[in-house]
Each structure stands twice: as C-alpha cells, then as structure tokens.
Chain A
Amino acid sequence: MLEARELACWRGDRAIFAGLSFSLEAGGALLLLGANGAGKSSLLRLLAGLIPAAEGQLLWQSEDALADRVAHAGRLRYLSHQDALKPSLTARENLSFYARLWGGDVAAALGSVGLADLAELPARMLSSGQKRRLALARLALAPAPLWLLDEPTVGLDAASVTRLGGLLAAHRAAGGAVIAATHLPLPLPGARELTL
C-alpha cells in the first residue's frame, strides 16, 4: 500500500540518501538500519510529509501520497525521537488533546502502555522511559494504517518493550504497516530490513 520510488533527500548540497526504493504491503513491517547520520530520521520525516523529497515519488495505494499532505497526515502516526509532551499537563491531558483530534479512549490507551496509575501526574514528573511510553500511547488511541517510529524503544524497560510488541502485533494483524528506525532489537517478527 506504500511504495517509494527512487527517493532522495538533500541537506544543503549534500545528499543524505538517493535512489531509495521499497514497497510495503498491509500488515508489513520495515526496519530502517544504518549508522548515526545515515538518514533514518530524515527518511521517516520525508515519509510523514514533514520535509520534501528532493527526487522520487511516494505512492499510497498507487497514488501520489504527498499531493495532499493533510490527507496523508490523517493516515499515519509519527513517533519522533522527541516525545512531544507538555511538561505542565498531566499524562491524561497530554493524551486527551490527541483523542480530541483523532478520537479514541484515553484511559484504554494509557492502560495499554502501563501508565493507568500515573494518569493524573504532570508529564514533567515522569521518568524518561515513562515519557516514552506516554508518547507511544498516542499510537494506541485510534487506528491509522501507517506507523512511522523513530527509535521507539529508547529508554524502555523489558516489560514495556513486550507491551510495545503487543501493540505492534495488533496493529499489523488489523492490516496496518510499520516503518521503524532502530539500533535496538524490535519485537517485529518477519520485518524486512533496509540499510541506509
């Protein structure tokens, strides 16, 4: 359902990557591997429509995905390496904002990442691993066919990685696709690998 054709990304006058092609079907998973600075995060931002592609095409269901970037944003969830949390809002309030945009059950999403007991705590009081889990809870709010994850397991304990594995498996079983950049082993059985 997602197909990249000869994608290229430039920063200044230097090519980060070029001639990148891959395709991803429903339920599929793609792991982006590569050294620091290889362009994994840039590729994810490009796939999200946050930065323009210098060359190449991105197709969604055989149509130009980035022609309507608002519609493209509607079919994806993007987890950047930043957690995008407001420190003064509680865990529940941070998530409620996205629930108003996308729909979904805040309490269930918090429960799915094991943060139900900390719902009323301001995000600034959470540890870095708990903040990461709160960012991951956005994925559990409402379904979207494409997940773009940038180092999703950084700072997570073993139990949280297992819970993330459950979220990923449920997402793929429902026909969703995952593209994840990582240096750590991810619970994504059968994922194809793309080394930048």
Chain B
Amino acid sequence: MRGFGAVLGREIRLALRHPADSLAAVLFFVLVCALFPFGIGPSPEILSRIAPGALLAAALLAALLPLDRLFGAEAEDGSLDQLLLSGLPPAALAAAKALGHWVVTGLPLLAATPVAAAMLNLPVEAWGAAMLALGLATGVLSLFGTAGAALTLGARRGGVLLPLLVLPLSIPAVIFGAAAIEAAAAGLTPRPYLLLLAALLALAAPLAPLAAGAALRGD
C-alpha cells in the first residue's frame, strides 16, 4: 500500500512539473467539441442531440493522448526496471499508474466538461450527469488503456496500435455514458445508466491491472 501511494504520488508530482501534458489533453477535448458546431452548423436542436455522444467520444480520444508515454517514458530512462524491482507486485504498479493517469488526465477533462457541454448546447440540467458519466468512462479508459499501454510497450508503432486495441473495449462505456447524458437532458433519471457504467468500471478495476502486470513482467 505504501508502494502504491509512492508511485501515485510520483505520477502526480511529475504531471505537476509538466502541466503542458494535461493541458494538451484538455485543449484537445475542447477543440474537438468545438469542431462539431463548425461542421454540423449552429442549429441548437441538432447540436444538443449529438452532444452526449460527441462529449464521450472527444473525452475518450483526449484521454488516449498521453497513454503511449505511460510506460514508454519509464522504459526509455530505465525507471521501469526500477519500478518492477521496487517490491510492488506488477499488478499493483499498473493499478497505481492507471489511477495516476485518471487523476492527471481524466480529472482535468471533467473540469473542462461544462465548457465543452456549453459549446454543444447541452441543457444545463444534464451537466452534472455529463460530468459523472465522463468521470466513470475516463476511469474505464484509464484502466483498459493501462493494459493496452503495457501490451504495446516496445512494439513498433505502439502509438498506433494502442488506440486500435483500447477504443473497441471502450464502446460499452460510450453507449452507457451517452445514454446517461441523454436521459438527464430529457429530464429522466440517468441513474440506471450510470450504475451500469460503474459496474463496467468495477469489472475493469481488478482485471485490467492484472493483465497489464502480466504484460509488464513479460509472461
């Protein structure tokens, strides 16, 4: 547990030293959401109709951006060997990296959600549900993404392979997340969809770090 906290604290400290990385993901998210009004036209009805799906897709793509450096940077400077020999089980190391990725990438995206939601004309009543759905969905992506990053570590063109591996796994998160936001926008309760999303997160939370740990150990 002490090792888990140490790795997580190190992730956050490194992100604070390089705030540009988190900022780039947030700006990417906001810019992708800003592209929709330009492409589809400023009709408020159509925008608010596509807002849930667009928010989810943009947030997941933005959260993917820093993933290929999650273990790549550690492997390049030799830190990965030290982390694997730190006395922390590889799965716990992967879990700490996944949580670290969510804190330094997922949380800033949540903070930018109202801006993106406003640009897509999402009703204000649905903003809370949107933030909850994005928080859970980016959590799922952080977990699957960590497993993907561990699997593609050292692969040629790993940066291209990673989204191909992770995005299909994220489809259920997009479906339930968008459904939750749509329900809230229509004045219904988003609760069942959010619970399904939380169930997905609960499923990925133990499985993805185990897979990532096995990939890191090379067995």
Q: Interface residues, chain A, CB within 8 Å of chain B? A: 45, 48-52, 69-70, 73-74, 76, 78, 80-86, 88-89, 93, 97-98, 100-102, 138
Contacts and interface: CB of A to CB of B under 8 A. Distances in A.
B95 to A, nearest CB: 14
Contacts of A73: 84-87
B191 interface: no
Contacts of B125: none
A85 B79 CA distance: 7
Given A52-B219, A101-B3, A70 B17 contact: no
Given A82-B78, A86-B77, A101 B88 contact: yes
A78 B13 contact: no
B89 A80 contact: no
Contact of B87 (A45, A86, A101): A101
B87 A102 contact: yes
Interface string B143-172: 000000000000000000000000000000
25 contacts: A50-B81, A51-B218, A69-B217, A70-B88, A73-B84, A73-B85, A78-B85, A82-B81, A83-B77, A84-B81, A84-B82, A85-B77, A86-B10, A86-B14, A86-B79, A88-B17, A89-B13, A89-B14, A93-B13, A98-B86, A100-B2, A101-B2, A101-B86, A101-B87, A138-B82
A88 B85 contact: no
Given A74-B87, A82-B78, 16 more contacts: A49-B85, A52-B218, A73-B86, A73-B87, A78-B82, A84-B78, A84-B81, A84-B82, A85-B77, A86-B10, A88-B17, A89-B13, A93-B13, A98-B86, A101-B3, A138-B82
Contacts of A138: 82
A80 B77 contact: no
A70 B90 CA distance: 8
User: Ordered nearest first, which 5 A-B pairs have the shortest CB separation?
Assistant: A82-B78, A84-B78, A88-B17, A100-B6, A73-B85
Contacts of A80: 78, 81-82
Nearest to B3: A101
